[in-house]
């Protein structure tokens, strides 16, 4: 039986450059001959992508914060069952764009539900499955939000429609709470969560992340 794989999660505000960095890391690890699974939340499975549509669509109205949190975890429970655990059992490296820290930051912090229910649901619905490493891309709220808006405008003019999602329509204060909650998680779990300054160029940030991954996972 192969050794259990590794779970690496990427976290950060909308527009923090997570997706770019996740792609770069996947490419580098594959170039080293490693088996990599790239996935995301909410989503990552057929059921999860349907839940994602409800959660992110700007036309979804009146969703209560508790419903939002429950749907995030419903997507995650299916994702763990269908994708993450099987990939880890095969010895693969799983790179996941967002995981439970997003729920703690956005629903716990942003929507003010607090940390406790998120950690409790994580225990019940996710069997407390923790990432081996979490990369938190950190930047000023104004910078990240502006980048997300620019990206959406660009996509709208191009082929793929990229609407501003329900979260991206939130205000500065909301994202301030999200960032604060993220930094609190990093302070609480310094062995797992590494804060990476996201103000550099994509290549600079990638070099920092590669070094972290190499050291932490001994690869």
Which residues lie near ligand TYD (CB under 6 A)? Answer: 14, 18-19, 41-42, 56, 72, 98, 102-103, 106-107, 165, 167
Q: How far is the CB of 197 from ligand TYD (least distance, A)?
A: 18
Phi-psi region of 155 (alpha: psi -120 to 50; beta: other; left: phi over 0): alpha
- CB-wise, 90 or 192, nearer to ligand TYD? 192
- CB-wise, 166 or 216, nearer to ligand TYD? 166
| Cβ-proximal residues to 57 (8 Å cutoff; 6+ apart), any chain | 163, 165, 166
**DSSP bridge pairs for 196:** 137
Q: How far is the CB of 50 from ligand TYD (least distance, A)?
A: 15
Angle at the Cα of 91 (from 85 to 96), degrees rounded to 5?
Answer: 55
d(CA 182, CA 199): 17
- CB-wise, 166 or 194, nearer to ligand TYD? 166
Q: How far is the CB of 52 from ligand TYD (least distance, A)?
A: 8
- CB-wise, 101 or 133, nearer to ligand TYD? 101
Terminal-residue alpha carbon distance, the chain: 19
Q: How far is the CB of 68 from ligand TYD (least distance, A)?
A: 7
């Amino acid at each position: 039986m192969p050794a259990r794989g590794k779970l690496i999660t990427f976290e950060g505000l909308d527009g923090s450059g997570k997706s770019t960095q996740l792609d770069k890391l996947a490419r580098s690890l594959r170039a080293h001959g490693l088996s990599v699974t790239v996935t995301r939340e909410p989503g990552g499975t057929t059921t999860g992508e349907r839940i994602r549509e409800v959660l992110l669509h700007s036309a979804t109205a009146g969703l209560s914060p508790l419903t939002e949190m429950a749907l995030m975890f419903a997507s995650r429970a299916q994702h763990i069952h269908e994708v993450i655990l099987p990939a880890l059992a095969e010895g693969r490296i799983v790179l996941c764009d967002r995981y439970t820290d997003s729920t703690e930051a956005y629903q716990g912090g942003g929507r003010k539900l607090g940390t406790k229910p998120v950690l409790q649901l994580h225990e019940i619905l996710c069997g407390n499955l923790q990432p081996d490493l979490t990369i938190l891309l950190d930047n000023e709220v104004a910078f990240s939000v502006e980048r997300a808006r620019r990206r959406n405008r660009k996509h709208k003019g191009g082929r793929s429609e990229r609407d501003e999602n329900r979260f991206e329509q939130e205000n500065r204060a909301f994202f301030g709470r999200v960032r604060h909650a993220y930094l609190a998680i990093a302070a609480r779990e310094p062995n797992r969560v590494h804060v990476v300054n996201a103000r550099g160029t994509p290549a600079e940030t990638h070099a920092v992340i590669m070094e972290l991954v190499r050291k932490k996972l001994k690869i």
